[in-house]
Amino acid sequence: MPKTIAVTGGKGGTGKSTISTLLAIGLSKEYRVLLVDADADCPNLHIILKAKRKLLSEVKQTIPKWDFSKCIKCGKCSQVCKENAIVFVKGKYPIFVKEQCIGCNACRIICPTKAIGKAEQKIGAIYFSEINSLNLSNLHLISSEMLITYEETSPIVNALKKEVSKFKDKYDFVIIDTAAGTHCNVISALLGVDFALAVTEPTPLGAHDLSLILSLTKKLNIPAFVLLNKANMAKSKAEEIKSIATQFNTEIVSEIPYDKKIFEAYSSANLEKMPESLYKPLIDFIKKK
Amino acid sequence: MKTITVSSGKGGVGKSSITAIIALYLARKQNKQIVYADCDVDAPNAHILLNLKEKDFYEKEEIFASEKATLIAEKCIHCRKCVSEDICNFNAISWNKEKNIPEFNKYLCEGCGSCSLICPAKAIVLKKVKNATLRIAKTSYGFPLVTAQLEIGESGSGKIVTEVRKRAEKLAEKNKADLILIDGAPGIGCPVIASIQGTDYIVAVTEPTPAALHDLSRLITLAKYFQAKTGIIINKYDLNLKMTEKIETYAKEQNAPLLAKIPYDERFIKSLVWQDEILLQTLSETYVPDILKAIKSIQSFSI
């Protein structure tokens, strides 16, 4: 069984993707690592790793399809749809707004004449990449991507996790990079991991959002540890981060300083060239854990 | 009255800081009546940037924007229809063999009501769930802030954003405001769609990194779908001039004009870390006039 770690943080831009990539690169020197991009809204790891993505599977959603020859224009389907995806005007056939549909079965269940069947719509895709270009043969990437204009991210994250569960046993570590925020897509990514790494920065915003994400991991019963990124940005605020960690019965397991070199490496997609000394304490912690 | 949404795709590129300086400038220098709406309900931060204290909030309201399935156990006739195929598409129901009743995973339940519709004994009902607290504050800059915080472990961010916008609109009407300024969430999913739907103008903030450009392109595609006028700001542009050039080329191709290039300016971090209002004011006077000018001259959109 591999060890599964989620890299999360609440706030955007604290360095989640950078940290999960560095962690994956570092661990892959000794172990087989599967890096998972669960930010289906805006997946970036394939760009950071200059990886060519191969389509693994399409994520599809069941949507209703009306057989108007059976439809009696009762409007019940429109009444039960919580997402306002079915517009009904008296005396007319229902109009379907597919972008609003979340793919539940309510309309099909309620229809008294069985006039509603099933169709499918594509809502996203799952990709697999080998990172051969960087000579990181022990590292594989699996990423999710939501179709633009679709609203619900969590079904794509759930499909991603299903794919991951199919072949995760081939790996020693599974590292999941979550989206920013704290709602369903992040919750779906966090469920079932062994522990979470909350990446934060020493600013009032970082502190605020760290409390949010630690409250969430606590509620989900997931052990969480704090990684303080850009640690030297404001020394006094680092104390505040420490006290939040203590409040949640956890600790700062590693600090990474703000370094222009990291930004440059990140912005030119060359993270693999960063010296390992920079993040070695983190790797050591993960190995021991 | 107009609505402007500041959005970015990628998080942490400077959305909230740029929204804050635009608000400050309009309120302080142009005497505009604005309403500030923090629509990043997962991790709202505007109240911190605007240095608000608990006492500044004068209104508080609990939002019940979603529903979850719950079982009335004594009514259950153990028919297992709710766990049969083609009922719950979200894997939120499992059968508890010991108790011989269904169990609902509240984190996965979308509140669609399919299980409640199939249940012949009416043993499954949908219950409204408190999923956010909405608050309104008066800021020291004169304008009000409408903000909401998603309950930990809950979902429905898009619906909460819609509530925040409704309240902001009400307030704007009452105050005869010129503008609602929305600070959006990262990503392109439900909270972002709820933030940009029906808005008059989108300010898309990005930074010179391949990841930010990729996320920007996803946001621009979304904005086009909603036919919203959009302009781009490259923040910290001088950190990677090559990438900045790439973004400029992309902006041209997409017909989404470049409004401003803001250099890496440590004062942004300082103003944030020390919650320094005077510094924030200085930053607003440094960068906002050009942004507003650009929006007006390029897209003849004036605030």
Residues 171-230 of A with CB under 8 A from B: 179-188, 191, 202-205, 208-209, 212, 215-216, 219-220
CA distances for B270 relative to A8, B20, B273, angstroms: 25, 14, 5
pLDDT value, residue B46: 97
Return the domain boundaries, chain B.
2-64+132-299, 66-129
Residue A284 confidence (pLDDT) above 90: yes
Residue A133 has pLDDT above 90, yes or no: no
CA dihedral B60, B62, B65, B70 (to 10 degrees): 170
Q: Tens of pLDDT along A240-269?
A: 999 999 999 999 999 999 888 888 889 888
Nearest to A17 among B9, B112, B211 (CB): B211
Residue range B66-129, CATH number: 3.30.70.20
Give the DSSP per-residue string, chain A: --EEEEEE-SSTTSSHHHHHHHHHHHHHTTS-EEEEE---SS--HHHHTTPPPEEEEEEEEEEEEE-TTT-----HHHHH-TT--EE--TTS--EE-GGG----SHHHHH-TT--EEEEEEEEEEEEEEE-GGGT-TTEEEEEEEEPTT----HHHHHHHHHHHHHHGGG-SEEEEEPPSSSSHHHHHHHTT-SEEEEEE-SSHHHHHHHHHHHHHHHHTT--EEEEEESGGG-HHHHHHHHHHHHHTT--EEEEE---HHHHHHHHTT-GGGS-GGGTHHHHHHHHH-
Residue A144 binned pLDDT confidence (cut-offs 50, 70, 90): very high
Strands B179-183 and B2-7: parallel
Q: Can you read off the two tokens belonging to residue B236?
A: 């910290």
The ipTM (two decimal places) reads: 0.92
- Taking the Cβ of residue B209 and every Cβ of chain A, the question of whether any pair is shorter than 8 Å is answered with yes
Cβ within 8 Å, pair A12-B10: yes
Q: What is the pLDDT of residue B120?
A: 97
Query: Dihedral of CA A64/A70/A71/A74: which sign?
Result: negative
Closest residue in B to A191 (Cα) is: B107
- With 80 as the cut, is the pLDDT of residue A134 above it? no
Which residue(s) pair with B7 in the sheet? Answer: B204
Is B215 an interface residue toward A (CB < 8 Å)? yes
pLDDT more than 90, % of chain A? 86
The residue among A37, A267, A268, A271 with the most chain B CBs within 10 A of its CB, best to mutate, is A267
As a whole number, the mean pLDDT across chain A is: 95
Residue A77 above 90 pLDDT?
yes
- pLDDT tens, position by position, A223-239: 999 999 999 988 888 99
- Structural domains in chain A, CATH included, are 3-59+124-288 (3.40.50.300), 68-114 (3.30.70.20)
Indicate the average pLDDT of chain B.
96
pLDDT tens across the length of chain B (303 residues):
999 999 999 999 999 999 999 999 999 999 999 999 999 999 999 999 999 999 999 999 999 999 999 999 999 999 999 999 999 999 899 999 999 999 999 988 999 999 999 999 999 999 999 999 999 999 999 999 999 999 999 989 999 999 999 999 999 999 999 999 999 999 999 999 999 999 999 999 999 999 999 999 999 999 999 999 999 999 999 999 999 999 999 999 999 999 999 999 999 999 998 889 999 999 999 999 999 999 999 888 887
Residue B122: its pLDDT value, please?
Answer: 97
> Which of the listed CATH numbers 3.40.50.10310, 3.30.70.20, 3.40.190.10, 3.40.50.300 matches domain B2-64+132-299?
3.40.50.300
From the centroid of its chain, how far is CA A70?
Answer: 42
CA distance A120 to chain B (A): 13
